[in-house]
Structure 1
Amino acid sequence: MTKYICIHGHFYQPPRENPWLEDIELQDSAYPYHDWNERITAECYAPNTASRILDGFGNIIKIPNNYAKISFNFGPTLLAWLEQKTPAVYESILLADRISQQQFSGHGSALAQCYNHLIMPLANTRDKYTQVVWGIRDFENRFQRQPEGMWLPETAVDLETLDILAAAGIKFTILAPRQAKRVRLLNGEEWEEVSGERIDPTRAYLQRLPSGREIALFFYDGPISRAVAFEGLLAKGEYLAERLLSALSPERDWPQLIHIATDGETFGHHHRHGEMALSYALEYIEAFDNVRLINYGEYLEKYPPAMEVEIFENSSWSCIHGVERWKRDCGCNSGLKPGWHQGWRQPLREALDWLRDHLINLFEEKASVLLKDPWAARNDYLEVIFSRSPESVQSLLEHHALKVLDQSEITEVLRLLEIQRCAQLMYTSCGWFFDELSGIETVQVIQYAGRAIQLAQELSADDLEEGFLTRLELAKGNIAEHADGRCIYQKFVKPAAVGLLDVGAHYAISSLFEDYGEQDRIFYYDIHRRDYRRAEAGKATLVIGRIEVSSRITLHSGDISFAVLHFGDHNICGGVRFFQGQKAYSLMTREMTKTFAGADFPETIRRIDRHFGASTYSLRHLFRDEQRKVLQQIVASSLREIQGTYQQVYKYHVPLMRFFTELRAPLPKGYLATAELVINWNLRQALEAEAPDMEVIGSLLNDARVFDVQIDAATLEYVLRQTVQRLAAAFRHHPAELDYLTRLEAIVELAICLPFEVNLWTVQNTYYEILHTIFPTVLWRATRGEEADHIWVDHFKSLGKKLGMAIPSS
């Protein structure tokens, strides 16, 4: 009898976007990457699209797409980010599902997920339904098929949630073994208690639902899943494969399914090279004649449930108390510091529940005069979220509007629906999962609440913000400077909030440092330039202009005028206001232009204050990424001066420094600091060059070794990786040209000789592609006496050796 193995990866990141900009701003903790999504993609999501299987000598012999052979789900919000930021990774994930359909009798391995990972048993019925509908429709838009299974966030479950899944056409979901209460044969009479993880996980079970519907449940193998996540089972692929195979028992007389489930980030992010262990384990298992890899959809079709199960309601995989982790201080944590508590969980949820209920009242009151069925429109709003196009908005209104709406009414509908989207996102489970109220995940859900409040106050005179803060203040954190929820809201939510004037200010200030077109875009805001004037006096610059700013999400727009004075350093003074009419604009323009032309900068500032009042802005008001970019431009000349000074000091004193090393005497701290700065500066500059000078780099590395200088490995690795990837891309587009090949070979040789490891994943993928496409043809020509081809083959094989690739001997 054939036995089966299935590995499920739950790939997910919480939404990290600024709720006002709909994009992730710079996250310094993810350095050298821009943000944590980018970092985890580099460490996990991308490597699993092109993993490595090695031979006995440690050379790469295969580069498989792991997703094609496992069961997996990706959070919809994460897939949206991947589609926008790393389209190649995104397309590889979609491709893997298509490949899996060919391997598993037409059943794709991708599962849907409830939309934004809220804890379903703690949601109201309407929100549960929306989460399922949005999750399914997002899946269908991306994978172009209906999902058979759906992942429940944290596997948190109750019967109502399962009933909603079944009603939506979902055939199965996956739960933890401790969530099973009792089992019996289908239509049997006697129940067997299986609490305490005693359920046999090697088969599918049927859960009957109060409505009369049914859904299949799979309970993953708990001990093996925990060993993968926490006990080093990914140290070698053989360990994982043998542990899975050892779970098969000759005593079972049914087609056994050994299956595990874990966070997908386990394979590469939490455990370095975990994706390679996974690849090898899958290859290892496929070598057995009587064991097959399978996914849940195919197994369920072949072997429908023969047993019935009853679950523990309000249970999950990561809280032994059920779902208490997301509503009170139950003791489950991610590693509390001594003296810390999580008593903030309950008042946070209560504050959000209070806000949600008031937003429901606002939605029903306002939307009912514009939409036939406001809640049906909310469910269909996913199509607008998915594409953010005028066509999707028009389609939504055609189906749901009570009448032909004017522009202000369309904006009101979109505001109301966006409020409801934020009301979903503010319940994302990560907000309660970790230990501190001021953690980035918890701040994120509070920011979504803040965005919902802002939109609501544009539609209603009710002061929802104060009511919310009164309740949020009861949430007490563990860090004195972030005392409670009100404090955190004032520190991290209010400063992040953005309105049309803020976008106008960003445009005005940033226009000093970059060129905008007549039509441009800043995050999810469209900019139409109506007037723009620029004047310079010495180092100072004055810009005056008028723009129309329009939100691509709510279609709310505003006509904005501005004036900004830049003194040539970090001091910037600007004013922004809604357009007051052509007469006022012309007067402001004449006055400021005249004053600035006379180089009377104090008077120019006074006139900015006079015309714009309190609506004045500085460099601090730029959005974070642009702020850093501008700061780099402002300090660039100063840094060049500093660097030049240090270069001269280093050049002058290097003979004496060498003398110190010859005497084995420690370098004075001033010398050491100078050497460290200069060598790292010069190395970065050399590694960023279009054609890196190997001799210069070698000399710098030798100096670093001689003077015992600490190399900035993280920065230099990242910089060199970009250079390698650039040269690899050029070679990929011109594979037959020897010059591109030899340049790539030289930079790879440098990379493998450095005192730190350089990630060569991309260039290895490029090499593997060319090895199986171009190389056989060139090799064939080389064997027939073509000298140029023979030289190319020699260099190509040499590059492969440096990259650790297995190369055919002939």
Structure 2
Amino acid sequence: MNTINRYICIHGHFYQPPRENPWLEEIEVEESAFPFHDWNERVTAECYAPNAASRILGSDRRIIDIVNNYSNISFNFGPTLLSWLETHNPEVYSEILRADKDSLIKFSGHGSAIAQIYNHLIMPLACSRDKRTEIIWGIKDFVYRFGRIPEGMWLSETAVDIETLEMLAEHGIRFTILAPHQAKRIRGIGQQDWTYVTKETLHIGMPYLCILPSGKKIAIFFYNAVIGAEAAFGHLLDNGETFAKRMIDSFPQNTNDPYLLSIATDGETYGHHHRFADMALAYALHDIESKKSAQITVYGEYLEKYPPIHEVAIAENTSWSCIHGVKRWEDDCGCRAMYACLISDTSVCYLLSSGSTSQHNIKPWNQKWRKPLRGAIQWLSTELARIYEHEMEGLFHEPWTIRDAYGELIINRSYDAIIAFFSNHAKRTPNPQEITRCLKLLEMQKNSLFMQTSCGWFFDDLAGIETIQILMYACRAIQISRDITGVDLEPDFLDLLSKATSNLSTLGNGKDIYEKYVQTSIFDINRVAFQFAITSLIEGIPDTTQVSMYDIYCKTFEQAETGTIKLAVGHAQFRSKSTLKESRLMFAALHMGGHNFMGGIRPFSHEKEYEEIKEDIWIFYRKSDLPGMILQIDRHFDVHSYSLWHLFRDGKRKVLYNILDDVLLDIEYEYRQLYRRYSSLVTAMKELRISSPKALDFPVEYTLNRELITCIDAEMIDISKIAQILDDMNRSNFVPERKALSVHAGSAILRTLEKIAEDPTNLLLIIGVNRLFTLLAPLSLTLDLWACQNTYHRIGENICPLMKEQMNIGDENSKRWVMEYSTLGEYLGIRCSL
């Protein structure tokens, strides 16, 4: 086969289940993701960030190039994941967007990115109006982020039916991607007779045209499932050269017809599921392009070059991850995951492989819970739709069109955007109460869609964290519905949920799980206000930390401290960003020492009442009467009285770590005094080979380690002082805390490289960081140099050509710069391009 007609397109479906607490729209700490805050953070570090700056290694195992994989592959990102990245990792987010812009140049005006339906529900199991909203929101989100109309759209789990394809075509989507077993029959365009196909007999090297009942058309690409499975579940990505060869060898021989080898897997395959697989991907693409063994392309470009000449009829209600169609998301079909992460009574995550049940004396699990869960969610969706339609018709002509348009506000929740939304769509100018009511109904519908997210059914048990998450969205939708109509859907919903049973008898049924893990996650405005009060109390000033769902305006804040007792009283205005509902609340917060906190929240009515309540509490504070303060807070805030246990998970950590910081400062002070008095004695005993007591060893060793980290963290790193501390530790046979030192040293090196990036010709900075590497080399630290390598690579691209030119004309400073810069590259594991 002529290599000019060989094309390769690798597609990555990058997605994480939405994990935000629906009442906060923030992800709370997930202990199972340790040492990261949550799984989004962890997968970003392992996959999304590495693919934005992936290493290509030379024969000497040193980095010869750093590339953005996203610009060389086809990809889609889940809109909810991109929204999280935009806020929590803007650098990776911007690299993803930049990659799409770069790919437009590389692929003849066709970008690498394609869209995805909004929140990963299973389209064949959704009603028509939900399908439409999912597509419209997905397109709106794509246009906002990538600045162009999407050519293709990824269907979650590639789950497909004719109605979904009709809607994709209706909204201008030119193609989608399916698994080969999802093709039912094919024929040449214009021909009468169909040929039935299987995944083995389907020609997957070309696009097909699907002509829909309405007359609309959409192209379909079918990926190579065999190579995709080897990449996702085998060891194909252990070596980039092997990966490239496997793809090239799969092309048919003895033909000059154009052929597209398309591979589609979860994007997390490249780094999260398989460590360093991003590098295998980068090397494979580099190898193919450098050897010209095939052309790298994306679906849009190939479709323009080689339009379909065959027509396909799809197998409806099928998907890529269930051999039974879409049963995995509605029934006990036998398809299950390799593991399930469960919420347990001890908040421990159980990792149970499909072969581990016998090892733990656990009976084989079933997924009989899926059907009643699907039934409960569908019932609730129908009830919420009825309420929404009835409540919205007074202000809008087409309530479901308004829900479609609401995707704009999910992207931009500014006050001006909300007012413009109602100005553009409402029958008349609404008052503030009507605006809040309508926004609540739209939020109810958003949660109604989110509770259908596919991940809730995908894994092995009803108590999986993904299933808990969709039940939280259901709970939030029920809460809003109850608030607006006074009708409580929860009892009937729980009756339906009770028919679903966990595989772990201790967890009970769906109702038990809902009551134990979902209802306890609810945060109303009073708990938000208490969080604000406590964090303000420990910081001594009104807390300015951003809260995703609320704008907070502190009106009054008064604090006093006596010994271990702290008291704060004040009031603040809280405005929901999603509904514009405003609440003015008074708070009192009391810290009684240690981890003992209490306080209360109540509506603020007027200044006179506020002053009276404050004075009632303050009287007992002036007398140092702690029981009296507690009684007064209980009396005035009896309905909404809280303790530390009512804070958000992250709020609890913030408060406790603040307390711990004070404790550690006291301990470090005492250790430092012992160090000053006895360090010379301990050193002398060590040199005389006389055992020193552990009671003295520990504070001396601890203080030396703290001194070392303090020096490394300093803005101006004192190399001489670091050398002296290391010498002192060596003479006393003390070992540096390698784990902590590795983290701080990596940060110090990165800070220095960022300074070099600002002033690349500053030779002293380069010499300084090289001396630091020399000092640290004997310690065998495990340094995370990923960001340092990226910065070094950028510096080299910008300044190395200039330095090389000056070096060639005999400039001595440039020669020294090149020598030191090359040495720094050796420390970083990068081959200098000079």
Tell me the secondary structure at the aligned position of residue 182 of structure 1: strand
Could you say what secondary structure the match of 2:54 adopts?
A: coil
Query: Residue 773 of structure 1 corresponds to which residue in structure 2?
Result: 798
The corresponding residue for 2:449 is 424
Match of 1:63, SS?
strand
When residues 642 and 479 of structure 1 are mapped into structure 2, their CA distance, relative to the original with a 3 A threshold, is farther
Change in Cα spacing, 1:718 to 1:472, as seen in structure 2 (3 Å) is farther
Partner of 1:296: 299
Structure 1 match to 2:347: none
Cα deviations by residue, 1:96-154 (Å, 9 ceiling, x for unpaired)? 11111111111111110000111111111110111011111111111111111100101
Give the deviation of 1:254 after TM superposition. Answer: 2.4
Q: Distance in 1 between matches of 2:10 and 2:311?
A: 23
SS across alignment from 1:576: strand
Match of 2:787 in 1: 762
Shift of residue 694, structure 1, vs aligned partner: 4.0
Question: Contact 1:520 / 1:526 at 8 angstroms: preserved in 2?
Answer: no
Q: 1:808 to 1:18 in 2, by over 3 A?
A: same
Name the CA distance, whole Å, in 2 between partners of 1:789 and 1:109. Answer: 40
Displacement, 1:214?
Answer: 1.7
Cα distance change of structure 1 residues 121 and 554 upon mapping to structure 2, 3 Å threshold: same
SS of equivalent residue, structure 2 residue 484: coil
3-state DSSP class of the match of 1:522? coil
* 1:444 corresponding residue in structure 2: 469
1:164-190 superposed Cα distances (whole Å, 9 cap, x missing partner): 111111111111111122222222233
Deviation per residue, 1:189-217 (Å, 9 max, x gap): 33322224431211111222222222111
TM-score under structure 1 length normalisation: 0.93
Matched letter for residue 144 of structure 1? G
Bigger Cα displacement from structure 2, 734-743 vs 341-350: 734-743
State whether structure 2 residue 346 is matched by structure 1 residue 318. Answer: no
> How far, CA to CA, are the matches of 2:631 and 2:166 in structure 1?
66
Aligned to 1:366, which of 373, 391, 394? 391
The offset of 1:783, in angstroms, is 5.0
Counterpart pick for 1:173 among 176, 180, 192: 176
Secondary structure of 1:609's match? helix
Q: Secondary structure of the residue that 2:323 maps to in structure 1?
A: coil
Contact 1:657 1:671 in 2 (8 A): no
Deviates more, 1:753-762 or 1:201-210: 753-762
The aligned counterpart of 1:564 is: 589
2:745, 2:736 → 1: CA distance?
17
Give the match for residue 630 of structure 1. 655
Q: Which residue does 2:267 correspond to in 1?
A: 264
Give the secondary structure class of the aligned counterpart of 1:61: strand
Percentage of matched positions with identical amino acids: 45
Relative to 1, partners in 2 of residues 1:701 and 1:261: Cα closer, same or farther, differing over 3 Å?
Answer: farther
Q: Which amino acid aligns with 1:376?
A: T
| Closer, same or farther: CA 681–182 of 1 in aligned 2, 3 Å | farther
Residue 745 and residue 425 in structure 1: after superposition, are their counterparts in 2 closer, same or farther (change >3 A)?
A: farther
Structure 1 residue 581, shift from structure 2 partner: 3.1
- 744-753 or 492-501: which moved more? 744-753
User: Which residue number in structure 2 is paired with residue 113 of structure 1?
Assistant: 116
> What secondary structure, in the 3-state scheme, does the structure 2 residue paired with 1:388 have?
coil
Q: Who is 1:745 aligned against?
A: 770
Partner of 1:532: 557
Q: Please, which runs of 5 or more residues in structure 1 have no aligned partner? A: none
> Which of these residues, 435, 448, 456, is aligned with residue 410 of structure 1?
435
Aligned to 2:519: 494
Equivalent position amino acid for 1:238 in 2? E
Matching residue within 45, 64, 68 for 1:65: 68
Q: Does 1:380 align with 2:405?
A: yes
> Which residue is equivalent to 2:723?
695
Pair 1:590-2:618 in alignment: no
Structure 1, residues 358-387: CA drift from partner, whole Å, max 9, x if none? Answer: 110110111111212110010000110011
Aligned length: 803
**Change over 3 Å in CA distance of 1:364–1:673 after alignment to 2:** farther
Q: Where do residues 461-472 of structure 1 align in structure 2 (5 Å cutoff)?
A: 461-472=486-497
| Partner Cα distance (2:685, 2:20) in 1 | 49
Cα distance in 1 for partners of 2:151, 2:46 equals: 29
With over 3 angstroms needed to count, the CA separation of the structure-2 counterparts of 1:551 and 1:197, relative to structure 1, is: farther
What is the CA–CA distance in structure 1 between the aligned matches of 2:709 and 2:265, rounded to whole Å? Answer: 39
Cα deviation, 1:562-596, whole Å, max 9, x if unaligned, reads: 11111232111211111143332221111111111
**Counterpart position of 2:642:** 617
- 1:10 and 2:44 are equivalent in the alignment: no
Determine if the alignment matches structure 1 residue 233 to structure 2 residue 236.
yes
Q: Which residue of 2 is the match for residue 126 of structure 1? A: 129
1:516 CA displacement: 4.8
What's the CA shift for 1:511?
Answer: 0.6
Describe the superposition over 1:511-539 as per-residue Cα deviations: whole angstroms up to 9, x where unpaired: 11225569874332111122221122222
- 1:746 deviates by 3.8
- Deviation string for 1:608-639 (max 9, x for gaps)? 01111131112222222232122112122333
- The 3 A distance-change label for structure 1 pair 173 and 478 is same
1:56 is aligned, of 59, 63, 80, to 59
Query: In structure 2, the residue corresponding to 1:110 is in which secondary structure?
Result: coil
Corresponding position: 1:475 with 2:478: no
**Contiguous gaps of at least 5 residues in structure 2:** 339-353, 358-362
**Counterpart amino acid of residue 531 in structure 1:** T
Q: Does 320-329 or 280-289 show the bigger shift? A: 280-289
**Deviation at residue 764 of structure 1 after TM alignment:** 1.1
3-state SS of the aligned residue for 2:114?
strand
Distance, in Å, in 2 between the alignment partners of 1:311 and 1:653 is 82
SS in 2 for 1:46: helix
Once residues 214 and 623 of structure 2 are traced to their aligned partners in structure 1, the CA distance between those partners, rounded to angstroms, is: 81
Deviation for aligned residue 1:37:
1.4
Alignment equivalent of 1:576, drawn from 598, 601, 605: 601
Cα offset, 1:684, TM superposition: 5.9
1:261, distance to aligned residue in structure 2 (A): 0.6
Amino acid at match of 2:295: R
Distance 2:805 2:518 in 1: 64
Q: Deviations over 1:761-797 (max 9, x none)?
A: 1111111111121233234445555554443332212
**Hey, what does 1:733 align to over in structure 2?**
758
Offset at residue 257 of structure 1 (A): 0.5
1:439 to partner: Cα distance: 2.2
The Cα shift of 1:52 comes to 1.5
Q: 1:710 to 1:688 in 2, by over 3 A?
A: closer
Is 2:190 the counterpart of 1:187? yes
The answer to whether the 8 A contact 2:501-2:508 is kept is: yes
Equivalent runs, 1:25-40 vs 2, <5 Å = 25-40=28-43
Q: CA–CA distance in 1 between the matches of 2:327 and 2:690?
A: 65
Aligned 8 A contact 1:781 1:789 in 2: yes
Greater CA drift, 294-303 or 783-792: 783-792
Match of 2:312 among 306, 309, 314: 309
Aligned equivalent of 2:147: 144
Structure 1 residues 702 and 304, CA, compared in 2 at 3 Å: closer, same or farther? farther
TM-score by length of 2: 0.90
Alignment CA distance shift 1:108-1:669 (3 Å): same
Report the 3-state secondary structure (helix = DSSP H, G, I; strand = E; otherwise coil) of the residue aligned with 2:538: coil
Contact residue 579 and residue 585 of structure 1 kept, 8 A: yes
Aligned to 2:202: 199
* Equivalent residue number for residue 391 of structure 1: 416
C-alpha distance in 2 between matches for 1:680 and 1:467: 60
Check whether the contact 1:520–1:527 (CA below 8 A) recurs between aligned residues: no
Specify whether residues 678 and 177 from structure 1 end up closer, same or farther in structure 2 by C-alpha distance, changes over 3 A only. farther
Task: Select between 615-624 and 361-370 the one with higher mean Cα deviation.
Answer: 615-624
Name which of 532, 535, 548 aligns with 1:510: 535
SS in 2 for 1:322: coil
More off after superposition, 223-232 vs 757-766 = 757-766
- Which residue identity is paired with 2:171? A
Match of 2:575 in 1: 550
- How far apart, CA to CA, are the structure 1 residues paired with 2:23 and 2:368? 29
- What is the aligned partner in structure 1 of residue 346 from structure 2? none
1:734 Cα deviation after fit: 2.6
